[in-house]
Amino acid sequence: MEGSAIRLRDLRKSFGETTAVAGIDLDISDGEFFSMLGPSGSGKTTVLRMIAGFESPTSGEIELAGQEVTGLAPFERDVHTVFQDYALFPHMTVEQNVAYGLKVRKVPKPERLVRARKALADVRLEGFGRRRPGRLSGGQRQRVALARALVGRPRVLLLDEPLGALDLKLREQMQVELKAIQREVGITFVFVTHDQEEALTMSDRIAVFNQGRIEQVGTPAEIYERPATPFVAGFVGTSNLLEGQSARQVVGAPGTYSIRPEKIRVLKESAEADEPEHSTATGTVAEVVYLGDATRFLVDLDAGGRLTALQQNLETSSEDVAAYRGTRVRLQWHRRHTFKVPDPR
């Protein structure tokens, strides 16, 4: 049966005058890869620290696996936290680092070794047990930290920007790895990040934070394709909003609408405009940016407003791109890609 791993009820936290967390309700399921996504200062870390027990809520409740834990100390909770600075012991071997928590808990040595080796295998570091952390790459150190967390078999793993210290390439590689490891071990992961791509790549579900509140909870596809608020539309991807009068002329009804840039085709102004089920708008290319695999067009619409369109560079070369600036174009997209953005609360 699918249980609830974490349940937050009207959770609040103030530091003096600052309201860090302004009332959060959330259910995270067993075995879920759940991300908390939001800009710096939006309260994600504070929520994570309250789940871990490092910070006590001003009010509200925290349940882990159906048990109220709000007043319990960190070590009394079945969770483990992985921080960005992995804090490995430099004088110990990788294996000793991983087994350390078990030693503290007085697990007998033979079992410690077996479990440490299993955890190292889980993070694909077999054969690295006798090295010292100083002789590992950033990504390998990250995986040792993860093995150290997994070895205690916590029900929930809390990860606070664990990939933040890695360079982009390694980071992208670790995103895929981390997701695969989570799927294999089946532990609930709660992952804090301010990087929308990272959240979209890895998560089963995402909560988007803004100013101590959650704006939307959903799968990556829901968050990306159906943002529930203008904030979510803007924070995840390019907001590409059509508002008021221009929306009425282009989409046909007043309100605020959004179309994701990669759904919009850039055509010659003279192109046929009568494809059924499609919306169309003419305009002038204000800016064009060559991105290697794609080109980004910023188009000022005749109806008012500006849309960004992203085109794969199938035929286009970098020389073609500059020539587009200032030219007249027709934008076209299927109507199902237009979605209404609810008004702010």
Site residues (CB under 6 A) for ligand ATP?
15, 18, 20, 38, 40-46, 194
Joined together, the tokens standing for residue 269 give 């102004």
Residue 216 C-beta: closest distance to ligand ATP, Å = 16
Using alpha carbons, select from 293, 255, 294, 299 the residue that is nearest to residue 280.
299
**Radius of gyration in angstroms for the set of CA atoms belonging to the chain, rounded to a whole number:** 24
Which residue shows structure tokens 């794969």?
312
Closest by alpha carbon to 196, among 149, 160, 234, 169?
Answer: 234
Nearest approach, Cβ of 35 to ligand ATP (angstroms)? Answer: 12
- CB nearer to ligand ATP: give 15 or 89: 15
Q: Which is nearer to ligand ATP, 59 or 245 (CB)?
A: 59
- Kindly state the smallest distance separating residue 39's Cβ from ligand ATP, in Å: 7
- Alpha helices (H) in 157-291, listed in sequence order: 168-185, 196-202, 220-225, 230-235, 244-250
Give residues with Cβ within 8 angstroms of 57, minimum separation 6: 11, 12, 13, 21, 50, 70
CB of 192 to ligand ATP, least distance (A): 6
Q: Smallest gap, in angstroms, from Cβ of residue 109 to ligand ATP?
A: 39
Q: Which is nearer to ligand ATP, 44 or 112 (CB)?
A: 44
Q: Which is nearer to ligand ATP, 15 or 83 (CB)?
A: 15
CB contact burial 304-332 (16+ within 10 A = b; e otherwise): bbebbbbbeeeeeeeeebeebeeeebbbb
94 closest CA partner among 61, 74, 119, 72: 119
Which residue's CB is nearer to ligand ATP, number 201 or number 211? 211
Asked if residue 191 lies in contact with residue 202, where contact means CB atoms within 8 angstroms, the answer is: yes
Q: Which is nearer to ligand ATP, 38 or 152 (CB)?
A: 38
Query: Closest separation between CB of residue 15 and ligand ATP, Å?
Result: 3
Q: For residues 51 and 6, is the Cβ–Cβ distance under 8 A? A: yes
We find the least distance from the C-beta atom of residue 46 to ligand ATP, in angstroms, to be 3
Nearer to ligand ATP by Cβ, of 6 and 259: the residue is 6
State how far the alpha carbon of 217 is from the alpha carbons of 6, 36, 61, 85, 186, in Å: 14, 9, 19, 28, 21
User: How many CB atoms lie under 10 A from the CB of residue 243?
Assistant: 16
256 neighbors 230 (Cβ within 8 angstroms): yes
Q: How far is the CB of 79 from ligand ATP (least distance, A)?
A: 17
